[in-house]
Amino acid sequence: MKIGVPLEVKNNEHRVGLTPESVKSLSNLGHEVLIQSNAGHAIGFTDHLYKLSGAKIIESASELYKSSNLIIKVKEPLEDELQFLRDDLTLFTYLHLAGDPVQAKKLLETGVTGIAYETVTADDGSLPLLAPMSAIAGQLSIVVGSYHLLKPNNGRGTLLSELDPRIVTVIGAGVAGKEAILKAKANHAKVRVVDLNPSKLKQLKNEFGEEGIEFIISSPDAIKKAVSDSDLVIGSVYVVGKEAPKVVTNEMLGDMEEGSVLVDISIDQGGCFESSKPTNHDQPTFVKNGVLHYCVTNMPGAVPLTATKALNKATLPFIKELANKGIKSALDENDHLMNGLNIKNGEIIHPAIKEVLEASN
C-alpha cells in the first residue's frame, strides 16, 4: 500500500503522523511510505532520517495526496487541505467532527473515507488512540494553568505549592482528568474531582485516598459551588463522538475570583465551558468576566516530540492492519477499527456523530 504522511498545517502543529522508526517498520513489510518534505523537521525527524528508514520524500502536499492510498495525519484536515481529498482515499487521523459541524460537512463532500483515532475502541471499552494525547493534555493542563495563574499573565498571582495550598477543580475524571489530578496533587494543591459516575469516583478514592482531595458527584449546583473559589478549573469532559456538554455556564463565571483560570481540554469537541472558544498556541488565552480561559485545540502540539512518539506507539498496530489487509478487510475483521470509521462515500457512518451532525442541520 502507498501510505502518505503530509506536513501538518494547523497553527503550531509540529507533530507528524509517522516517526522514522514507524516508517522503517512499514517499509520492511513491503509498503511504500511517502513523506512530505520537512514533515518532521521541527522535531528532529529530518528528510534524511526518513530516507534512511525507507521513505520517499515528496515535495508538495498535492503530489503526496495524489500518490497515496492511505493518509496518516495527526489533526483534522483544514480548509486548504480539503482539495486534496477524494472518494478512493482513506484518511486515518483525529477528526473530532462533532466539534465543528460546518467543517465536517465540507469533509463529507470530498467523499473521503475517514477513520478517526478518537473513536477506535479496545476490548475494555477504552479509546486507545485518544488515551495518549488525553494523558498529555491532562498533564499540560496543570502546567499551562499554573503558568497563567502568574500575575504577569493576568492570573490571580497564586502558586500551586505547599506554601499556600490552592484549589484545583477537575471536571471529568477520564484519562485526561486523572492525569490532571496526579499533577495537581504533586503540586500540593487541594483537589476537587467532579464526575457523573459514582463508581469512577469510588475507584479514584481507593487509588488516591481522601487526604487533600474531594470527590463530588456532578450536578449544576455542585459544579457552581466547586468552581466559585477555585484558582484553577480543568474541563476534561468527553462523550464519544459527541459535542462536549457545557458544564460551566457563563453565569458561574460571575462567582469566580478575578484572575482564576479555566483550561478547557474538551475544546476540540466544542468545549465544556459555555464561555469557551477555540484558541491557538500563538494566542492561547482570553479573559471573560475576569476569568482567564485557555482553550488551545491542539494542546499536545506543545510537546510534539513526546506526543508523536506516544501517538505512534498506539497507532502503528492499526496502521499495519489497514496496510496489510487492505482498508475494507481490516475494517470488516476488526470491530474496534470499524468503530473508528466516521465517514465514507459522503455518508456519516458512526451513529453518535450522525446524531450530532443531523441535529445541527
Which amino acid is located at 17 in the chain? G
Q: What is the rounded CA–CA span in Å between residue 39 and residue 75? A: 13
Q: Are 105 and 357 in contact (CB under 8 A)?
A: yes
CA 295 to each of CA 26, 72, 99, 168: distance values in angstroms, whole numbers, following the listed order:
36, 25, 13, 17
Q: Are 18 and 86 in contact (CB under 8 A)?
A: no
Between strands 291-294 and 285-288, the pairing is: antiparallel
Q: Is 96 in the active site?
A: yes
Q: What is the rounded CA–CA span in Å between residue 313 and residue 326? A: 21
Q: Is 188 in the active site?
A: no
Which residue in 96, 148, 293, 350 is the catalytic one? 96
Q: Are 223 and 171 in contact (CB under 8 A)?
A: yes
CA 334 to each of CA 120, 258, 338: distance values in angstroms, whole numbers, following the listed order:
10, 50, 6
Which residue in 231, 264, 268, 293 is the catalytic one? 268
Q: What is the rounded CA–CA span in Å between residue 165 and residue 97? A: 39
Residues annotated as catalytic are 96, 268
